[in-house]
Structure 1
Amino acid sequence: MNSIIRRAGSDITEQWRRFLEGDLGSWLRVEEYREDGTLVVKAEVPGIDPAKDVDITLVGNELQIEVRHEEKSEHKDKRGYRSEFRYGTFSRTVTVPGPVDEKDIRASYDDGVLEVRIPVPDDAQAAARKIPITRGTGTGATGSGTGTEASTAQT
């Protein structure tokens, strides 16, 4: 299975890759949406200290979020003593549309919700633009000599 995933490379989304590898337990569930030219990524991660337990890094066009969570509870009564430990690392990689400077990314933590805001280029700026085609030999030559082929192709 891993060889199939390696051959497919980045064509498989993170959710499918983790599902195929059986790694859903360490997957950080997030909500993603766009708001006023900003990609907003939110994750519910209550009971953590964001200064110690969260790492957010930008690698190329991928934002990597890693959260470590540790919880300890103890219970003492007449019958004895019981303690429980729960811990784990949860991560998620989000593809960022377009080039982003890490200095422009903002992260906050409030009431158990981690929020990351990433500015993205306007869709209007990223709109498709038609590329003119000139007729000719296909080697970059301008054509057969009259010049009318290039002017009609650019309309």
Structure 2
Amino acid sequence: MATLIRRQRFPFPEIPDWFETFPSRLTMPAVRIEDYMQDDRYVMRAELPGMSAEDIDVVIGDGVLTVQAERTEREVAKSHSEIRYGEMSRSVTLPPGADEDDVKADYADGMLTVSVGLGAQKAEAKHVEIHHGS
């Protein structure tokens, strides 16, 4: 005799969605990026859809490029939302020879493009002679 299995509808439909995004609920969402070299410049592109340039801050110093942004939640009644709100940040280490005074940033169509000039490459490592004290 075959046994019929009855499937019950999950009583709390939002809980699976909550667990799907659980790690992002514990940490600040990361900004998704791509980076590459082009015409003697380091280029980093960051995906920041739905923001205005005023919501984005680019900071450079000590060999690190940081993009910080904040998406504020609209005050409307929602039945469902998969959009991430709040602060997000991403930092990358600049390549050797990056000129922190030669930085350009542009934001269009939800993509931030930051380019940093690559000045003279740093000299290669040198061996230092060690003298014996007498």
Report the TM-score, using the length of structure 1 for normalisation: 0.55
> What CA deviation, in whole Å up to 9, does each residue of 1:119-141 have, x standing for no partner?
1136xx447476596xxxx428x
2:98 touches 2:116 (CA, 8 Å); kept in 1?
A: no
Task: Name the SS for the 2:99 alignment partner.
Answer: coil
Give me the whole-angstrom Cα distance separating, in 2, the residues matched to 1:109 and 1:44.
10
Relative contact order higher in (CA < 8 Å, ≥ 6 apart): 2
CA RMSD of aligned residues (A): 3.0
- Paired amino acid for 1:31: E
Give 2:34's match in structure 1, choosing from 31, 35, 46: 31
Task: Name the SS for the 1:72 alignment partner.
Answer: coil
Q: Counterpart in 2 of 1:108?
A: 106
Q: Counterpart in 2 of 1:49?
A: 52
Give me the whole-angstrom Cα distance separating, in 1, the residues matched to 2:110 and 2:119.
29
1:69 touches 1:87 (CA, 8 Å); kept in 2?
A: yes
> What CA deviation, in whole Å up to 9, does each residue of 1:49-73 have, x standing for no partner?
11x2011111211111101112426
1:119 maps onto 2:122 in alignment = no
Instruction: Report which of the two has the higher share of helix.
Output: 1
Task: Name the SS for the 1:101 alignment partner.
Answer: strand
Taking only the aligned residue pairs, the percentage that are identical comes to 31
Q: Which has the larger radius of gyration?
A: 1
The aligned length equals 105
- Paired amino acid for 2:47: E
2:35 touches 2:43 (CA, 8 Å); kept in 1?
A: yes
